[in-house]
Chains A and B, each alone.
Chain A
Amino acid sequence: MKDDAQRIAIPRAINWNRLQDDKDLEVWNRLTVNFWLPEKVPLSNDVQSWATLTPEEQTLTIRVFTGLTLLDTIQNAVGAPAMMADAITPHEEAVLSNVAFMEAVHARSYSSIFSTLCSTKEVDEAFRWSEENPHLQAKARAVLETYAPGADPLKRKIASVFLESFLFYSGFYLPMYWSSRAKLTNTADLIRLIIRDEAVHGYYIGYKFQRGMETQTEARRQELKDYAFNLLFELYDIESRYTEELYDDIGLTEEVKVFLHYNANKALQNLGFEALFPPEAAEVNPAILAALSPDSENHDFFSGSGSSYVIGRAVATEDEDWDF
């Protein structure tokens, strides 16, 4: 009895008024105010739009969403909990528990889309497809290997940033594409909420990776960088094949691959590394960029004569901290 009691490590009660890393509170605050549930989005307004898709387009869309569901399920059940055990600060562990829960909300959301738009039979078939799809299973396996107990915590963060900031995008492309053609616009609103969450997740895990890198020797840093680029090559290979299988029939494969390059570069930047694909290979269709960030027209004052005057769009500028 006594021995057992001694062996159990009791965590220290978390004190949010003593921070070791200010980012923990900053990200916690943003994540908690951003909390949402799928019920917030009027998905049923997409029923008519759904009916305008061909049966092939519908099947593609359901498959893409089951693939995304799998990634969220992995991050909810395995990825975020594995990183909680690696946390350096207690506040980091708390932030990751929020990440884990939001992944469950994301996974839940896809089923809300399904129950609103599709038949049970179609959905069951798509889930079966996802379980049997070799490329989807391969990317899940590649990430899960790094989440296994005893794996290197920094390698785990690398794989996790790739999941958050790269692997989702072969899937996210499709609702952005529909949205750019004024289809499934409510579904796109929901996906944008997920995309925003994943951006904070990729940012935060990448930030913690960079903090971890600072404590490593030069040789270890090189090893981790090589590991990251090799893993990205491996995942890119799988993603290319997954993309071809999904998008060849509708003729979008090349466009989706450009979107993959663009997101792979951003995932590397989240880890503090330089981009891999040259800008020419990562020039995403402007309609897709506009679907990602609607109403935020591209500002390029520099391309004008230099004397035209561009004022930003009308925005709420109140913030108690401004003195003027």
Chain B
Amino acid sequence: MPGLVYFSSASGNTARFIGQLGLAAARIPVSPKEALPELPDDYVLICPTYADGEGRGAVPKQVIRFLNAPEHRARLRGVIATGNRNFGRFYGMAGDVIAAKCNVPLMYKFELAGTTADLARVREGLSKFWGTECLMTA
């Protein structure tokens, strides 16, 4: 079953979005001491951005560590980035970095915990994406 994996720090914006989305999703833990939950076979990653004023450090360390494992990378099919437009040209830059590093499409960006419009867009987009994916691999 295709699915979702996400990271959300203690401020919990991304986690609130996932809660509203109502789709199963595995959370990359904040603390490296916590175990990873079981992962879906293929997944889209939702990741917040934490860059500094020069764009450094956009992808949270926990997500980098997660993607360093080749078996995690192998199942990554796309990335959705979150952030805040107030960070100027680095808005949602974690998505640009992950897409470039892992060679997957950057599917969407939204701000903070998202709006009801973002929720609808992501729900619809993901179901369409997995639909065409299944046809392609069938």
Point out residues on A near B: beta carbons under 8 Å: 21-23, 26, 29-30, 33-34, 36, 192, 195-196, 198-199, 203, 206-207, 210, 265-266, 269-270, 272, 275, 278-279, 282, 289, 292-296, 298-303, 305-307, 309-317, 319, 321-324
Residues 76 to 106 of chain B near chain A (Cβ within 8 Å): 78, 81, 84-93, 95-101, 103, 105-106
Nearest Cβ on chain B to A301's Cβ, whole angstroms: 4
Asked if A311 and B105 sit within 8 Å, CB to CB, the answer is yes
Asked if A294 and B92 sit within 8 Å, CB to CB, the answer is no
Asked if A282 and B52 sit within 8 Å, CB to CB, the answer is no
The segment out of B21-29, B34-42, B124-132 that lies at the interface is: B124-132
Asked if A301 and B107 sit within 8 Å, CB to CB, the answer is yes
Nearest Cβ on chain A to B126's Cβ, whole angstroms: 8
Query: Can you pick out 5 interface pairs between chain A and chain B where the beta carbons lie within 8 Å of each other?
Result: A195-B88, A298-B109, A310-B106, A311-B105, A312-B100
CA distance A305 to B112 in the complex (A): 27
Q: Knowing A272-B12, A292-B88, A311-B105, say if A300 contacts B121 (CB, 8 Å).
A: yes
Asked if B97 and A315 sit within 8 Å, CB to CB, the answer is yes
B33: A residues at CB distance < 8 A: none
Q: How many B residues face the partner with a CB closer than 8 A? A: 63
Identity of the chain A residue whose Cβ is nearest the Cβ of B114 in the assembled complex: A269
Asked if A301 and B88 sit within 8 Å, CB to CB, the answer is no
Given contacts A279-B115, A299-B109, 16 further A-B contacts (CB under 8 A): A21-B10, A23-B11, A196-B53, A196-B86, A196-B88, A269-B113, A279-B116, A292-B86, A296-B88, A300-B107, A301-B108, A302-B126, A307-B132, A311-B105, A319-B57, A324-B101
Kindly state whether residue B55 has any CB partner on chain A within 8 Å.
yes
A310: B residues at CB distance < 8 A: 99, 105-107
Asked if A319 and B59 sit within 8 Å, CB to CB, the answer is yes
Asked if B86 and A199 sit within 8 Å, CB to CB, the answer is yes
Asked if A306 and B92 sit within 8 Å, CB to CB, the answer is no
Asked if B121 and A34 sit within 8 Å, CB to CB, the answer is no
B61: A residues at CB distance < 8 A: 321
Residue in B58, B105, B121 whose CB lies within 8 Å of A309: B105
Asked if A296 and B97 sit within 8 Å, CB to CB, the answer is no
Residue in A207, A278, A295 whose CB lies within 8 Å of B11: A207
Q: Knowing A272-B12, A279-B116, A319-B59, say if A34 contacts B89 (CB, 8 Å).
A: no
Kindly state whether residue B7 has any CB partner on chain A within 8 Å.
no
Nearest Cβ on chain A to B107's Cβ, whole angstroms: 4
Q: Knowing A30-B52, A296-B90, say if A317 contacts B107 (CB, 8 Å).
A: no
A314: B residues at CB distance < 8 A: 100
Asked if A302 and B88 sit within 8 Å, CB to CB, the answer is no
Asked if B115 and A282 sit within 8 Å, CB to CB, the answer is yes
Residues 42 to 57 of chain B near chain A (Cβ within 8 Å): 50, 52-57
Identity of the chain A residue whose Cβ is nearest the Cβ of B89 in the assembled complex: A295
A323: B residues at CB distance < 8 A: 68
CA distance A99 to B53 in the complex (A): 16
A203: B residues at CB distance < 8 A: 11, 84
Q: Knowing A23-B11, A306-B128, A321-B64, say if A315 contacts B100 (CB, 8 Å).
A: yes
Most A Cβ at <10 Å: residue of B61, B98, B105: B105
